[in-house]
A and B are shown apart, each in its own frame.
Chain A
Amino acid sequence: GAGVSQSPSNKVTEKGKDVELRCDPISGHTALYWYRQSLGQGLEFLIYFQGNSAPDKSGLPSDRFSAERTGGSVSTLTIQRTQQEDSAVYLCASSPSPGIYEGYTFGSGTRLTVV
């Protein structure tokens, strides 16, 4: 596609429920990143994919968070047993390869609200 697509754009869920957030990167981009943007905070790195593998999961805040990527394309971020502190905008970005600094393109994000 022309850009990074994320769905849903908004998600309201009850505390304790599981949620799945989806990211469709730009076609051909091998590197994919998930970030989280909480109110009043900077973007926080969550996880990085190179192809289908995740060499760096260091930013995942707890074992309730997991992510996968299939076919070197679509990625899903799953949050189990959601808590109120998980409320944030989850942003996905992709680039042609990890070292291409000028091609780091973000999607519009999924706004998650846990009530």
Chain B
Amino acid sequence: DQQVKQNSPSLSVQEGRISILNCDYTNSMFDYFLWYKKYPAEGPTFLISISSIKDKNEDGRFTVFLNKSAKHLSLHIVPSQPGDSAVYFCAASRLYGQNFVFGPGTRLSVLP
């Protein structure tokens, strides 16, 4: 039973355009959310976070949107760059600082 879903296994975007990665969750008790990107043979790199008291958080080219009623979050990358090509994971937690449940990941390819 997957509590965190990333229904698009892969996504291709042209360089300079917007990348939108989506994540859905089933547990309404999740209050803390993280996005990571992962290159092959490396550990996940933290990108951006959001908690349920907010509906948007921005950090440079990355913006995360949270819709609690829909149990949906999305990561926007603008503008997309070839170096953004990686696997992106969203993760959710009920408890502050404790275990995170990860989605299966979306592979983003940014084409030059």
Partners in one complex: no
